[in-house]
Structure 1
Amino acid sequence: MVLEPLGKLFNTAAVLSWDASLTLTNTLRWNRKVGQVTPAGCPGAGGKWPEFIPPKEGDSRCSCPALNAMANHGILPRDGKNIKFTEMNQKIRETYNFAASFCYFVPNYAATMLKKDYANDTFDLVDLDLHNGIEHDASLCRQDSALVPDQSKPHAPFIRELLDSASGKDNDGNRLLTIEDLTKYSTKRRVEARETNPDFTLAKVHKTFGSSNSSTLLTIFGGRVDDLETILLEERLPDGWESRILAPMGLTVITFNLTVLRVERGIDEEKFIADREAAGATPKDPAETAAAAETLS
């Protein structure tokens, strides 16, 4: 059985080598033009997204707003079921301008997590919510699964608080989330989830997943509050929207991880607790949190 871990090691090395070459290519070629990021002939080209239809009863959705939005627009199957891993690879690349290496690595990771074959098998979106697979505690958009098992719907209070914390502005005065905003809110969520969820866990790998999700808001979505309000709350791509990544080969793993590392390194739970105590604030009450979760479920 030594061959299986060796095969994974060689596969990862090959993907990272491929990713490095794409990262280099991005530095040597012209960026895509604004308004032409989505490839011609693909859904969303020129900002014209397919009709948005909210999920109906029986449809499969997950804790990822970006994937749910793709199903809501019919870019992925509208019922969110029987999706090929290879299809997700292609559609994510076209929709969000992640690099080809990134778009192979993530679905392949998901297939391995679900003990399925990347090249031949399919999955439903809800399958991705296997707890402590990719889905994890202290999400910025969902309550912990121990409190609300159905992870398909966004938790509006978390999202509102996150977006209200935006401290940046672009040249046109539009409000932007910054790395500092994401680190502060991620810290708050981790501390409060740890205090209110008796089954709370957050291994190092899931901390990385959490900071990766935050980094997607800053990279693909540019941190733009007006867009994120629609994407996170409605799980809909706004009219005229396109990925904020202009790199010709898309956002690579290497480039993306530069943002992920900055977000994760800024998270400081001990400082948050000390500052809260100094301000005379009290921890979240687990009973109140459980009652609120029961009301919303």
Structure 2
Amino acid sequence: MGVFGKLGDTFVDLSVILWDNGIAILNLLTPKLKPGQVVPEGCPGHNGRWPEYVPPKEGDSRSACPMLNAMANHGILPHDGKNITFKELNTKVRETFNFASSFCFFVPNFSARFLNKSYAKDKFDLEDLSLHADNAIEHDASLTRQDKALVADQGKPDLELVHGLLKEATGKMPDGSPKLTIPDLSRALAKRRTDAKRTNKEYSESFFHNTFGSANSSTMLTIFGGRVDDLTPMLTEERFSEKWEPRVLDRYGLTMAKFNGTVIPVASGVKKYQKEE
């Protein structure tokens, strides 16, 4: 990419940050959405009514992201996980999980960049997002996948890792059911990174990948509210639980600005627990 291309990307990123901050302010000034009405009317999942879950079959494309895979498994994205436009991903993620429009543009646009594709014109398969590269979003020490150097197929969860993560939950919902907390995630990430370094001779990490790993994990606390009852089918089967809806009630969706209020404490906690080991 030339200098002008990089300057263009920087301008877009700065514009998205300003856009995101504007949405964050709007969310503060407008009423919250009512439970049951988070997914827009007419969209899959409205009032907790999700399309039928169909597990992936041989030849279907899946990513390292349980949430995207669940969308394909329920037919919100193409069930085969192939030939998806970045614009389609933007719209469907916005409707399904109540991320802000700024957030839903930024991540697909960033994905198009590291895949050397056009956000406006090109298509991708879900497995393309599992590209293991310094500038890509797939990373070692995932909480739901073994490292790509050990397991090439990143489209399937490692159930031992998932169950180990869910057992970390120390919080409680009002009904007494388990709930993951910020310290739980920080502790799990610290342990996972330590274990991955020991078992994967090709292990690599960077500030970017560690930050993305903390952000990826933080969706469990924001979009899912840390509720283990909802996270269990999502992480083990990549399926929405019955009557589930996003736990973010902000009228214009979860912004990156607000999301950082969870990501930063999670990432800081990882450093704390790593020092204690």
Provide the TM-score with structure 2 as the length reference: 0.97
Q: CA deviation at 1:127?
A: 0.2
Alpha-carbon separation, structure 2, partners of 1:167 and 1:244: 19
8 Å Cα contact 2:61-2:81 kept in structure 1:
yes
For 1:183, which of 179, 182, 186 is the aligned residue? 186
| 1:216 corresponds to | 219
Q: Which amino acid aligns with 1:237?
A: F
* SS across alignment from 2:217: helix
| 2:275 corresponds to | 271
Q: CA deviation at 1:6?
A: 1.1
Matched, 1:202 2:216: no
Q: CA deviation at 1:270?
A: 4.1
**How many correspondences in the alignment?**
273
8 Å Cα contact 2:190-2:274 kept in structure 1:
no
Alpha-carbon separation, structure 2, partners of 1:263 and 1:189: 14
8 Å Cα contact 2:191-2:274 kept in structure 1:
no
Map residues 66-105 of structure 1 onto 2, 5 A cutoff. Answer: 66-105=67-106
Change (3 A) 1:243 1:270: closer
Q: Which amino acid aligns with 1:138?
A: A
Q: Which ranges in structure 2 are unaligned for 5 or more consecutive residues?
A: none
| 2:52 corresponds to | 51
| 1:295 corresponds to | none
Q: Which amino acid aligns with 1:99?
A: A
Alpha-carbon separation, structure 1, partners of 2:105 and 2:43: 19
Alpha-carbon separation, structure 2, partners of 1:75 and 1:182: 28
Alpha-carbon separation, structure 2, partners of 1:94 and 1:272: 41
Map residues 125-144 of structure 1 onto 2, 5 A cutoff. Answer: 125-132=126-133, 133-144=136-147
Structure 1's consecutive aligned runs of 4 or more residues displaced over 3 angstroms after TM superposition are none
* SS across alignment from 1:195: helix
Change (3 A) 1:270 1:169: closer
| 1:114 corresponds to | 115
Q: CA deviation at 1:19?
A: 0.3
Alpha-carbon separation, structure 1, partners of 2:177 and 2:15: 40
When the two chains are superposed, the root-mean-square deviation of aligned CA atoms in Å is 0.9
* SS across alignment from 1:266: helix
Larger radius of gyration: 1
Change (3 A) 1:270 1:67: closer
Alpha-carbon separation, structure 2, partners of 1:167 and 1:49: 29
Q: CA deviation at 1:271?
A: 2.6
Q: Which ranges in structure 1 are unaligned for 5 or more consecutive residues?
A: 274-297
Alpha-carbon separation, structure 1, partners of 2:200 and 2:158: 16
